[in-house]
Structure 1
């Protein structure tokens, strides 16, 4: 065979390979999602599915709503080598075990291709890494704080608390008026329990102690955490959480706060999606501030959380299309359209929001809260949510174990001993998510 024939053969082979890769880069893109109401499904369809498919004629993005069973179904599918192209998880704590098992595709080449390294806040890129490779991008970042019924506060002459002592003073005054201090409940979502553990870990133990424990430098049985869980248990025993904790869901919590049956609601920024539904009909105004902190902690701490993440399955037949879909979700246009219609669930961690204009119907309180959170993150002043930074088995124990404390079936020391034992095992197994430095 002559050199020219070899060259022509090589060129033909490369062209054939390029054609095959191009063909693989187009086609169906599957995405499994969690629970969404018909109205919310319509928002996703209008603002993501339809515009992406219209601008990417070679690809067809489709979404399958799996509800509360998403996490279990995703694990089974990935173990069997099937499942969706876009892997949607409940948070970074799920990413490390999946990456460790080789179930996810490293995204570093796509981060370079689409400019994610320049467009996304660096701390969130770090949170999506395992062994120094990027495997996930967070759909939204969130924080916990204190919602309150501003109208009720004004009627009673109460000041919005900024310290733990002030919080307890107001809560005790509410009990005296037969008002539930904390609108709270875990019906339909038992992991709500960890919202309150996260609050006391950061606001009473302090974010520095949480960081040290997450890095394995101090145990979870350390005195700051004993103090935090003892305080949370004290609030439960005093009735701050009301009589219906196990029968109230998230939306009912907002309704109870709006109608004045409760005065405050320790919860996350995802609750902003319900404020306009319940407060105007009740002729009430909502407020939101950072959760008060202990004197030795200082300013209110905004615990940083990621409610869900996007990855690409290692077995995806169209990884390029999946990456393009994720990039579309992280565009300025999608941020504006999704946050206009669905506040609290689509606060993607874009670095620069200056060119984004939200619709007129967006609650000003939401925009202010997001600006405050973005500033806290950019300045490195944040805490750590348990569902984002603890590994899966530790989270699972925390969710059930804190109920045992509240119901007097165990005590603080025993709870923290088991929490620490579970965490130390997962830390040794490399299952702890990446922890951004303070």
Structure 2
């Protein structure tokens, strides 16, 4: 009976129509040919600052969480009751079409007043004139709103001291592990990369896949693994905190990516990850995890509800952890991001839009959403009773992240480099040095074509 139940879970995961919530594995940003028809300094924006003298106005609000439709309906209903001069009209999309939906809307001059976004898109969106500066609203009443939010989350949506993205919840690629399997084998949770490698070697001897690492599409979590390795080497090189790197102007990275590629090959050769991972999708990976054919799996923290439910149904308990760094190095989060909301530069109702965002990031609203969805929220006063949710919150508050926020249009650079990382793994004849140079060349080309 248990096997039938586990197989049912796996089939449900494999056939689910809902897409992954949270940040994507790629640097999703505006296409290079996007042209915004509404400029921030034109008459429409000046007109937008006018008051409506209490007359009811309608703002459009777009989010990419169809699975949370009821939660947002309630949130909006409560806001409208407290703000009778504002009606909120909702549009719902899915995360996988988010960037294209926005850039198409920007080009047509028909973007929603308030739209879901990832904070690391703000430099790119700002470069095409699509973002509204929310800094004055955040700084009202001696920074009251700004100080209620996690500082790193606010900073991730800040470009040249202007805040364009209001953080809603934090998101990151992390590791889930089979806690029951760990305990049965007497394995300790690793705290350093060296301990992690040793544990992966022990797990390989038992016949399970030590680390489930799906590579479809665009390299996916294999790309996350390579990028994490590269971060470790770049940290040692000492330039991660350089503003040129963080804004996409530093490109001398061939050496570090060559080292990352060599380590990836080594892990494949040792059986730490499956050589056939390139064909594996997220659904394949979680399916294998629920069948207990893998010890660790790359996941997004916003999948926690499904992870806990399905693993319990499959008969085991999960734990969560950040990908460990080498001894003596702080934990570095490659894919740390913010699911947030921006206000379109062409809005006629900036004050009402900002008021709505202030409401949905207030302590009570954020706490309720966090409790219902096991999300780690942007409001810094939220607390968490769930052990794994609390662990995520601790990771995000104590680790370091150096995710790029390009100050120019970055195109599809995340997908491009992910493809290069996948091609490297699939081609044994390509040397790590050749791979590292290809990654550097991709960044050089991007800067030459789009950088200011």
TM-score by length of 2: 0.77
Q: 1:251 to 1:50 in 2, by over 3 A?
A: farther
Per-residue CA shift, 1:231-270, capped at 9, x if unaligned?
1233234443336635554455345334421111233322
1:12 aligns with: none
Ranges in structure 2 where 5+ consecutive residues have no aligned partner: 1-46
Task: Identify which of 397, 416, 419 aligns with 1:397.
Answer: 416
Question: 1:23-422, aligned counterparts within 5 Å?
Answer: 26-34=56-64, 36-37=66-67, 40-46=68-74, 48-67=75-94, 68-92=96-120, 94-113=121-140, 115-187=144-216, 191-203=220-232, 205-206=234-235, 208-212=238-242, 214-215=245-246, 216=249, 219-222=252-255, 224-242=256-274, 245-246=277-278, 248-250=280-282, 253-295=285-327, 297-303=328-334, 305-344=336-375, 347-351=376-380, 353=381, 356=382, 358=384, 363-374=386-397, 376=398, 381-385=399-403, 391-408=410-427, 410-422=430-442
CA–CA distance in structure 2, aligned partners of residues 130 and 260 of structure 1? 44
Q: Which has the higher contact order (CA 8 A, sep 6+)?
A: 2
Question: How far has the Cα of 1:204 moved from its partner?
Answer: 5.1
CA–CA distance in structure 1, aligned partners of residues 216 and 78 of structure 2? 36
CA–CA distance in structure 2, aligned partners of residues 18 and 141 of structure 1? 30
Per-residue CA shift, 1:285-337, capped at 9, x if unaligned?
21222322224x53543446114332111111222221112111211012111
Ranges in structure 1 where 5+ consecutive residues have no aligned partner: 1-16, 433-438
Question: How far has the Cα of 1:143 moved from its partner?
Answer: 3.6
CA–CA distance in structure 1, aligned partners of residues 162 and 49 of structure 2? 29
**RMSD of the alignment, in Å?**
3.3
CA–CA distance in structure 1, aligned partners of residues 150 and 268 of structure 2? 37
CA–CA distance in structure 1, aligned partners of residues 345 and 72 of structure 2? 25
Q: 1:300 to 1:28 in 2, by over 3 A?
A: same
Question: How far has the Cα of 1:229 moved from its partner?
Answer: 2.5
Question: How far has the Cα of 1:85 moved from its partner?
Answer: 0.8
